[in-house]
Amino acid sequence: MNIIQLNNLVKKYPVGNGEFTALNDINLNFKEGEFTGLVGPSGSGKTTLLNIIGSLDSPSYGSAIVMNKSIAELSHKEAAMLRNQHIGFIFQTYNLLPVYTVFENVEFPLLLQNKNATQRKNAVMEALEWVGLTDKIKSKPSMLSGGECQRVAIARAMVKKPQIVLADEPTANLDSKNSHHILQTMQKLNKELGVTFLFSTHDEKVMQYLNRLISLEDGKVISDTIKNA
Amino acid sequence: MIQFLFKGILRDKSRSLLPVIIISIGVFLTIFMSGWMKGIFTDMIDLNAKFTTGHVKVMTQAYAENEKQLPNDLALMDANKWLSILQKENPEMEWVQRIHFGGLLDVPDSNGETRAQGPAIGKAIDLLSPNSHEANRMNITKSLVKGSLPSKNGQALISNEFAERFGVNVGDDITLFGSTMHGSMTFQTFKVSGTLNFGMSALDRGAIIIDISDAQQALDMLDVTSEILGYFNGDYNDNQAELIKTNFNNKYTKADDEYSPQMYKLTDQGGLKEMLMQAENMTSIMVFIFIVAMSIVLWNTGLLGGLRRYSEYGVRLALGEEKSHIYKTIIYEAIIIGSIGSIVGTIFGLSACFYLQENGIDFSDLMKNVDMMMPPVYRAIVTPDLFYIGFIPGLFAMTLGNALAGYSIYKRKTATLFKELEV
């Protein structure tokens, strides 16, 4: 079953008097439980594509259907709801809230869902267990290593048990050992929970974990390779 | 969520400390200045009420027109009749007669020849009646430097400064040279029973205080008084004073008789109404300036804080928080920070006002040559409105400042914002 469908997707941005085409006629489908990477050089449109799938942006033309919802037709509230309920984000620079503890950072998406304290505590502890950080719940991000920060970010993305996780260059700031650790964690979650992971990356280490590799260049798909599991 | 925000505010000092300090200072200054100005004006009015205007005052229309010249030839006849009428119609007030006069005080030597002379302001009040509150009202008891209050007719109090300048001691005789209400000269000798320090330059330079009956005799004013003053038992009540004044004037003031009595309330006299209005206007202007200034500073603080937290807002958008919800949390934070700052500022402001209410600041050295009747010690006054006069503007300024700062987040498209938020 396709969880994401992109049909003739075009995204243009106004630049000066003209327009810059960030995505040009993208046609892609993603099935539930995929572990897919978007690869390509800077400016190839990877992040723009993730933003559209994540309902942070909308297509100029064509359609993006995520969880059976057309992104272009969503109101601000519906888009926020989609992100809140079904999509998790992981960023290159972790983007943890610096004044809050590990527990509170992971708890935040659940506060937005108005979950009660017990539900929040159980879910947060479960998510931190997935990433192996239950001993750091009271630590602030400044007290953690880069790898630990990214694991907290993964827990934050996973705590609401989303159907889709969008990870924008998640290993770009990590050393080799931490990169592998992070990728193994995400791979485990993908297999155990059936969550669809979609990466943007140009990290060779990431590519070896992916089941599907989509290459973008100048906003176009130039290859779409499915590897055997 | 509020708990979550509260934790953030407490932990992120750069988010909360500067705004709290700014609001606290603004609220403190608003309350302090307001309380102090009110205190000064209240003391001034109170002083004038006690010495000059009463809470209401009855004079003849002719006397009122020339009041500054102390025209006793235009004074109120049948004083006891009017006193009875006033006491009967307004028993809740205390009514007293006063006579103001001017003259020369002559200090004789042992042979009865003039040793020294000086001009003096004279006030005649009820000093000898057992139930009279006049001595306390005019703070005479506390102002005594030497001697005691007059205990019988023929005794007088004079200002201590005058007494020292001319070497007058308690028990000495002094002679008042003045004029009767009919214009003829009068000479009356009094025995000095005590000397006073009023703390007001106008009176300390030269004043004589005698009993009303002595003045009536000396100035040929039997059953005549310059004015009858009325005092409420408690604080001045302008509405009640207006009612009493209107009733009295409707009943007894005759347009075609300039010697008929007319009642004036405190705020009708000596430009006090204008002064009170000016005090209120000044307080309003001051509060307005503080709100504008604080809002601008807090707006900029909010903008800087917002810029610093762009990444946080971007993450929150990505986590599924709506722009409007982020905007709401900015306002909630402003309310929390504004409340903390306002409470701190209010506590400090009220404490400072209370301290100045009890102690005041003595400006008597600076007011030696001031002829206006002004209190020598400037005190603040703690009134109920001080509890909110700074609190509400402080909260409002913080909320307004952050609302303006956060508006750009609310108005931008999510995608644009997300890009700008550099996530």
Kindly state whether B17 is in contact with chain A, defined as any CB-CB distance less than 8 angstroms: no
Facing A56 at nearest CB: one of B1, B317, B324: B317
**Which residues are registered as beta bridge partners of A200?**
A38, A168
Kindly state whether A172 is in contact with chain B, defined as any CB-CB distance less than 8 angstroms: no
3-state class (DSSP) for residue B325? helix
Nearest residue in chain B measured CA to CA from A106: B319
Q: How far is CA A191 from the centre of its chain?
A: 16
Structure tokens at B53: 């205007």
Helix (H) or strand (E) holding B120: strand B114-125
A167-178 per-position pLDDT tens digit? 988 888 778 888
Instruction: Kindly give the pairing relationship between strand B185-196 and strand B144-147.
Output: antiparallel
CA distance A187 to chain B (A): 21
Top residue of A11, A47, A112 to mutate, by most chain B CBs within 10 Å, is A112
The secondary structure of B240-256 as a DSSP string is HHHHHHHHHHHHH--TT
Q: Do A95 and B319 touch (CB under 8 A)?
A: no
Facing A83 at nearest CB: one of B7, B12, B318: B318
Q: How far is CA B59 from the centre of its chain?
A: 25
Q: Which residues of B touch A93 (CB under 8 A)?
A: 423
Q: Are A182 and A149 in contact (CB under 8 A)?
A: no
Residue A189's pLDDT is what? 86
Render each residue's pLDDT in chain B as its tens digit; 423 residues: 788 888 888 888 877 888 889 889 888 988 898 888 888 888 888 888 888 889 999 999 999 998 888 899 999 999 999 999 999 999 999 999 999 999 999 998 888 888 888 899 999 999 999 888 898 888 888 888 999 999 999 999 999 998 998 889 999 999 999 999 998 999 999 999 999 987 777 778 889 999 999 999 999 999 999 999 999 988 888 899 999 999 999 999 998 899 999 999 988 887 777 777 887 788 788 778 877 887 787 777 777 766 777 777 878 888 888 888 888 888 888 898 889 999 999 999 999 999 999 988 877 666 555 555 566 678 888 988 889 888 888 888 888 878 887 777 666 666 665 665 454
Q: Do A83 and B320 touch (CB under 8 A)?
A: yes
Structure tokens at B40: 């000064």
**Which residues are registered as beta bridge partners of B185?**
B179
Q: Do A109 and B317 touch (CB under 8 A)?
A: no
Q: Are B375 and B299 in contact (CB under 8 A)?
A: no
Residues 61-90 of A with CB under 8 A from B: 76-77, 79-85, 87, 89
Work out the end-to-end distance of chain B between its first and last CA atoms, rounded to an integer number of angstroms. Answer: 23
CA-CA distance, A42 to B89, in Å (whole number)? Answer: 95
Burial of B18 (0-12, 13-18, 19+ CB in 10 A): middle
Kindly state whether A99 is in contact with chain B, defined as any CB-CB distance less than 8 angstroms: yes
CA-CA distance, A53 to A69, in Å (whole number)? Answer: 10
Q: Which residues of A touch B3 (CB under 8 A)?
A: none
Structure tokens at B180: 């009767």
Q: Are A219 and A23 in contact (CB under 8 A)?
A: yes
Q: What is the mean pLDDT of residues A200-216?
A: 88
CA distance A225 to chain B (A): 29
Instruction: Categorize the per-residue pLDDT at A198 as very low, low, confident or very high, splitting at 50, 70 and 90.
Output: very high
Taking alpha carbons only, the member of B79, B47, B80 closest to residue B63 is B79
Taking alpha carbons only, the member of B18, B31, B1 closest to residue B337 is B18
3-state class (DSSP) for residue B381? coil
CA-CA distance, B353 to B300, in Å (whole number)? Answer: 30
Nearest residue in chain B measured CA to CA from A109: B319
Top residue of B322, B325, B421 to mutate, by most chain A CBs within 10 Å, is B322
Residue A131's pLDDT is what? 86
A39-64 per-position pLDDT tens digit? 998 888 998 999 999 998 899 999 99
Facing A51 at nearest CB: one of B1, B319, B415: B415
CA distance A229 to chain B (A): 30
Q: Do A111 and B311 touch (CB under 8 A)?
A: no
Kindly state whether B315 is in contact with chain A, defined as any CB-CB distance less than 8 angstroms: yes
Q: How many CA atoms lie within 13 A of B204 on its CB side?
A: 21
Q: Do A76 and B323 touch (CB under 8 A)?
A: yes
CA distance A28 to chain B (A): 22
Nearest residue in chain A measured CA to CA from B418: A56
Residue A4's pLDDT is what? 94
Top residue of A95, A150, A156, A163 to mutate, by most chain B CBs within 10 Å, is A95
CA distance A43 to chain B (A): 14
The secondary structure of B79-112 as a DSSP string is HHHHHHHHHHH-TTSEEEEEEEEEEEEEEE-TTS
Average pLDDT over chain A, rounded to an integer: 90
Q: Are B404 and B302 in contact (CB under 8 A)?
A: yes
Going by the DSSP 8-state scheme, the letter that residue A96 receives in this structure is -
Kindly state whether A109 is in contact with chain B, defined as any CB-CB distance less than 8 angstroms: yes
Domain A33-61+76-226, CATH? 3.40.50.300
- The dihedral through the CA atoms of B217, B218, B220, B224 has a sign that is negative
Alpha helices in B253-378 (DSSP H): 272-308, 310-318, 323-358
A99-144 per-position pLDDT tens digit? 999 999 999 999 999 899 999 999 999 999 988 889 999 999 999 9
Return the percentage of chain A with pLDDT > 70, whole number: 99
Q: Which residues of A touch B1 (CB under 8 A)?
A: 111
Q: Which residues of B touch A79 (CB under 8 A)?
A: 414
CA-CA distance, B65 to B74, in Å (whole number)? Answer: 10
Taking alpha carbons only, the member of A59, A102, A100 closest to residue A79 is A59
Residue B412's pLDDT is what? 64
Residue B282's pLDDT is what? 81
Instruction: Kindly give the pairing relationship between strand B207-211 and strand B227-231.
Output: unpaired
CA-CA distance, A69 to A59, in Å (whole number)? Answer: 13
Q: Do A95 and B423 touch (CB under 8 A)?
A: yes
Q: Do A87 and B320 touch (CB under 8 A)?
A: yes
Kindly state whether B68 is in contact with chain A, defined as any CB-CB distance less than 8 angstroms: no
Residue partners of B217: CB distance under 8 A and separation at least 6: B188
Q: Do A97 and B312 touch (CB under 8 A)?
A: yes
Q: Do B315 and A97 touch (CB under 8 A)?
A: yes
Spans of all domains in chain A: 33-61+76-226
